[in-house]
Amino acid sequence: MPDEKMDVEGQIDCLNKALRLQHRSVLMYSLTAGSVIGLEYQAHAEKMREHALAELEDATRLVEKITALGGKPTTDVASVTFSEDPGDALDRLIDTEGEALEALQAAIEPTGREAASEAVEHRLEHMIMRKQEQVDYLLRARRRP
């Protein structure tokens, strides 16, 4: 099997696409945490705050990796939406986080097979797992008995 090297430029591009969406994740979880109303949704506010902090940590990790690879991290933020309706806010989070999950998954492709590549792939997989667990939480929160 040939030694597959990381496509550094491709990796930086994919990581920046994910970072743009990650910036949005931080903001949308923060908006949701601070704005949900109604007794049913107040129980979720603290969890949304925790999610916002986890998203910020992952955004920082993406910036670190882009910088380590010699790239310039994007300051662009994907379009942020706000809804006063808590159910709609959770639905929007579910949709936008699905988009972010796809971008993180796509960022695995250019990693290659060298040690540094495996580290990037492993980090992305952990981010995907954490983010998917958050989406699962949102999906459960939206279900009705």
Cα–Cα distance, 68 to 11 (Å, whole number): 11
SS3 category, 137: helix
Q: Specify the number of domains making up the chain.
A: 1
Mean pLDDT of the chain: 93
Q: pLDDT tier at 3 (50, 70, 90 boundaries)? A: low
Q: Which residues contact 52 (CB under 8 A, 6 or more apart)?
A: 26, 29, 30, 33
Q: Is the residue at 3 inside a domain?
A: no
Range of the domain at 60: 8-142
pLDDT in tens, 5-39: 889 999 999 999 999 999 999 999 999 999 999 88
Q: Under a CB-based contact definition with an 8 Å cutoff, are residues 96 and 28 in contact?
A: yes
Q: Is the residue at 72 inside a domain?
A: yes
Q: Is the residue at 1 inside a domain?
A: no
pLDDT in tens, 67-94: 999 999 999 999 999 999 999 999 999 9
Q: pLDDT tier at 130 (50, 70, 90 boundaries)? A: very high
Q: Is the residue at 64 inside a domain?
A: yes
Structure confidence at residue 102 (pLDDT): 98
CATH no. for residue 12? 1.20.1260.10
